[in-house]
Amino acid sequence: MLEIKKLYKHFVLSRTGQRGLGPIAENREMIRAVDGVSFTIDQGESFALVGESGCGKTTLARCVLRLLEPTAGQIFFMGKDFLALSGAELRRQRKRIQAVFQDPYGSLNPRMSIGKIVEEPLVIHHLGTHRERKEQVGELLHMVGLDDKQLNRYPEELSGGQRQRVALARALVTRPDLLVADEPVSSLDISIQAQIVNLLQTLEREFQLTLLFISHGLPIVRHLCDRVAVMCQGRIVELTKTREIFENPLHPYTRELLEGVPEPDPRIQRREAGQRKQRPPRAGSQSLGELEEVAKDHWVAGGIRGPWGFNLNF
Amino acid sequence: MSSVNIRKPLSFKTAQTEPRLSGSGGEFLLQVRHLRTIFQTEQGSLPAVDDVSFNVRRGETLGVVGESGCGKSVTGLSILRLVGPPGKIVQGEVLFQETNLRELSRSEMRKVRGRQIAMIFQEPMSALDPLMKIGVQMIEGMQEHLGYVRKSAWKQGVELLQRMGLPQAAACMNAYPHQLSGGMCQRVLIAMALACQPQLLIADEPATALDVRTQARILDLLRELKSEQSLTMLMISHDFGVIADVADWVAVMYAGQVVEYGPAEQIFYRPSHPYTQRLLASVAGIYSHVKQEYLPVVEGTVPDMGELPSGCRFHPRCPEAEADCRKIHPELFQIGEEGASHWVRCLKRENVRVKPHAE
Ligand SMILES: Nc1ncnc2c1ncn2[C@@H]1O[C@H](COP(=O)(O)OP(=O)(O)OP(=O)(O)O)[C@@H](O)[C@H]1O
Ligand SMILES: Nc1ncnc2c1ncn2[C@@H]1O[C@H](COP(=O)(O)OP(=O)(O)OP(=O)(O)O)[C@@H](O)[C@H]1O
Ligand code: SF4
Ligand SMILES: [Mg+2]
Ligand SMILES: [Mg+2]
């Protein structure tokens, strides 16, 4: 369904007008935000992308949506070279891909009412009659747990979580084949998070919705996603089934990333906080080589030892 | 990766010029009493915060949880008087060190904001000015409140960003917000809030865009500031892991009101209000390691603030609701033994009640 091949996105920083050195890269002139990423997502699959803050997840998502021009690499959507599309064909394919962005406020037009915002994709793509559109908008707002009374409100009149759900309703209203969701539930309360997870799971089952899900919320990833890719400094370091990643993480970075999810239990957390102090600082260097299949469907970046004790990279 | 020692205490120059509010503060640093904030809209006035009361002791953390849209952010903004039109604080007192913030003049309030009470806003990327360099935004507060010259403020800014675990902190100071990732922006906001060493920190979802590792680093830093400098916090979060980690007290809000309030352990292990009980069941579902077909949720939808249900606001969704619940609006009452400090707003818990709250 979606195939990404050796995708690179480097930001070149101009030094003009900067005091001292360019942003981020102290003595480099380039940030390798996405640095040679390849993976495929099957139809109806939900695929999670996790990783430390700043590892390039959002940048990768923006490339997939063609909001950023990748430095190099290829993206195939439904077998077509997505980066080569243009004009009517591009519009046609775009309708099938929708997105929820990390910053819901920044992505909603402040001068449009909620009803208009959710309806807009249907209008752009000439879908349905006026009445059908209104019905669909109402239904979706209901599905994400919003009241129809909120139809006439404006984004700034809503709470953070309400805005996030408006963005989600807007993305789902055209019944896309692929949903790229960057932290779509992070500012929702747990009960509504559970409701959205249930909703996405239903859409996946009934409409074969494919999902590229980016999140720091590991408990949610565990429930929702079929496979997980772990990203580190612009590369994928481990890629396997969700269960495998949580129960048998092989790459040291994955272990670091997954360990110590705060539990909803004050006594455990108090003990945990004491232990955190004793934990050694993180490993400085990571092995970021090519992915190798070390067990069936379990890919790990080269240069680490498997559980059975020999170096996989010799 | 940066090799900064995160356990080093924050080194600040003590500023002599800080405006002290009258009174030494007493037991409670912050007391919110019967706060009511409304929004005037076409549908009438929406009581986003309706009769909210709580106290926070110096050096303690109050966690605020509750459904999306229940008024948590507006409560935080009301304390700092940052609710703009059509919103308005219409009732109540906000006592900070025994001074009623609602009575201060604008310029007095500006001195409190950022210096003595700082806030980390929800939605980090929108809270930063897109046209200004991170560094320039960071040093503003230090220059204004602490009288730092540009150079030392800049240096302090770099140090703070390093402690937030930002790689290449010096370079980040020269970047614009769009050049940073969501989690990096969030850490910049946390650093900005801590820059002037506030006494009270209102943190609205401060760790949502962070991975577990970075989140733990921030929580450790806050814990350290709490024990070493008696930093007092109001922590608004949906993440029950974060609340369990930092909160000493928890207030559960529903439809603009506090419905349950007590010590963290009491709320987590012995929740009393039907809403809290269901919310925690949903938390247990999400945190469970077993994959479920359907996750438990609090059934029904959040009431619209414009059309609140009669009687108890939770009654349309409450499995324990009875006829009385549709008619009588319950008060927040203390339950359990005297001194247990556990308050609940529910008619069916009144058999165990002791006395009303905030008297
Ligand atoms: N427009 C840009 N110009 C320069 N650098 C950028 C730009 N956008 C992103 N970056 C850099 O690319 C890197 C990856 O950023 P990205 O937003 O993809 O991270 P992320 O994985 O989404 O992190 P988070 O979890 O914090 O959202 C960061 O170092 C960031 O500073
Ligand atoms: N400018 C405004 N005009 C009208 N109503 C508003 C305005 N700002 C907020 N509200 C309403 O006030 C209520 C409380 O909002 P608030 O932002 O405090 O929620 P919250 O508890 O922080 O939710 P979240 O967890 O989603 O951030 C919401 O129902 C919202 O719709
Ligand atoms: S007062 Fe009645 S409706 Fe309200 S929470 Fe208690 S039992 Fe439920
Ligand atoms: Mg991101
Ligand atoms: Mg909020």
Nearest residue, CB atoms, A53 vs list B176, B209, B287? B209
A33 Cβ inside 6 Å of ligand 1: yes
- The share of chain A scoring above pLDDT 70, in percent, equals 88
Cβ of B220 within 8 Å of Cβ of A183? The answer is no
Nearest residue, CB atoms, A260 vs list B212, B240, B301? B212
Mean pLDDT of B148-162: 92
- Residue B215 pLDDT greater than 60, yes or no: yes
- Residue B107 pLDDT greater than 60, yes or no: yes
Q: What's residue A310's pLDDT?
A: 35
Mean pLDDT of B213-224: 90
Q: Which atom of ligand 1 is nearest to the CA of B183?
A: 26
Q: Which of A216, A233, A245 to mutate to test the interface with B (most CBs of B within 10 A)?
A: A216
- H or E element at residue A287: none
Q: What's residue B99's pLDDT?
A: 92
What does chain A come to in residues?
314
Q: What's residue A309's pLDDT?
A: 34
For B218, other C-beta atoms within 10 Å of its C-beta total: 23
Q: What's residue A13's pLDDT?
A: 67
Q: What's residue A202's pLDDT?
A: 87
Q: Which atom of ligand 2 is nearest to the CA of B75?
A: 18
Residues spanned by the domain of B335: 277-358
Residue B340, in any domain of the structure: yes
Q: Two tokens at A122?
A: 């249907």
Are A255 and A249 in contact by the 8 Å Cβ rule? The answer is yes
Helix ranges (H only) for A37-158 are 57-64, 87-94, 104-107, 114-124, 130-143
Q: Which chain A positions have a beta carbon within 8 Å of B282's beta carbon?
A: 190-191, 194
Are B94 and B78 in contact by the 8 Å Cβ rule? The answer is yes
- Residue B24 pLDDT greater than 90, yes or no: no
Residue B212, in any domain of the structure: no
Q: What's residue A28's pLDDT?
A: 47
Mean pLDDT of B38-62: 91
Residue B160, in any domain of the structure: no
- The share of chain B scoring above pLDDT 70, in percent, equals 89
Return mean pLDDT, chain A.
Answer: 83
pLDDT in tens, A124-159: 888 888 899 999 899 888 888 888 778 888 988 888
Residue B260's DSSP bridge partners are B252, B344
Cβ of B302 within 8 Å of Cβ of A23? The answer is no
Q: What's residue A280's pLDDT?
A: 62
Q: Tell me the pLDDT band of A191, cut-offs 50, 70 and 90.
A: confident
**Percentages helix, strand, coil for chain B, rounded to the nearest 5?**
35, 25, 40
Q: What's residue A114's pLDDT?
A: 92
Q: Tell me the pLDDT band of B339, cut-offs 50, 70 and 90.
A: low
Residue B146, in any domain of the structure: no
Return mean pLDDT, chain B.
Answer: 86
For A261, other C-beta atoms within 10 Å of its C-beta total: 19
Residue B282, in any domain of the structure: yes
Residue B353, in any domain of the structure: yes
Q: What's residue B15's pLDDT?
A: 36
Cβ of A53 within 8 Å of Cβ of B223? The answer is no
Which chain A residue is nearest to residue B181, measuring alpha carbons? A54
Q: What's residue A283's pLDDT?
A: 53
- Residue A21 pLDDT greater than 70, yes or no: no
Cα A99 from Cα A64, distance rounded (Å): 10
Are A73 and A6 in contact by the 8 Å Cβ rule? The answer is yes
Residue B350, in any domain of the structure: yes
Task: Say how many Å lie between the first and final Cα of chain B, rounded.
Answer: 53
Number of domains in chain B: 1
Q: Which of A119, A182, A211 is nearest to B125 (CA)?
A: A182
- Residue A161 pLDDT greater than 50, yes or no: yes
Residue B143, in any domain of the structure: no
Q: What's residue B17's pLDDT?
A: 34
pLDDT in tens, B245-256: 999 999 999 999
Cα A148 from Cα B168, distance rounded (Å): 47
Per the model's pLDDT, the better-predicted residue between B139 and A261 turns out to be B139
Q: What's residue A189's pLDDT?
A: 85
Q: Tell me the pLDDT band of A281, cut-offs 50, 70 and 90.
A: low
Mean pLDDT of B90-101: 93
Q: Which of A3, A71, A76 is nearest to A36 (CA)?
A: A71
pLDDT in tens, B254-309: 999 999 999 999 999 999 999 999 999 989 888 888 777 788 888 887 787 888 89
Mean pLDDT of B71-93: 93
Q: Which residues line ligand 2 (CB under 6 A)?
A: A 156-162, 187; B 39, 41, 46, 48, 68-74, 86-87, 122, 305
Per the model's pLDDT, the better-predicted residue between A130 and A104 turns out to be A130
Atom 27 in ligand 1: residue holding the nearest Cα: B182
- Residue A228 pLDDT greater than 90, yes or no: yes
Q: What's residue B213's pLDDT?
A: 86
B316 Cβ inside 6 Å of ligand 3: no
Q: Two tokens at A156?
A: 């700034």
Helix ranges (H only) for chain B are 72-79, 106-112, 124-127, 134-146, 150-163, 169-173, 182-194, 212-229, 240-246, 264-269, 274-287, 323-327
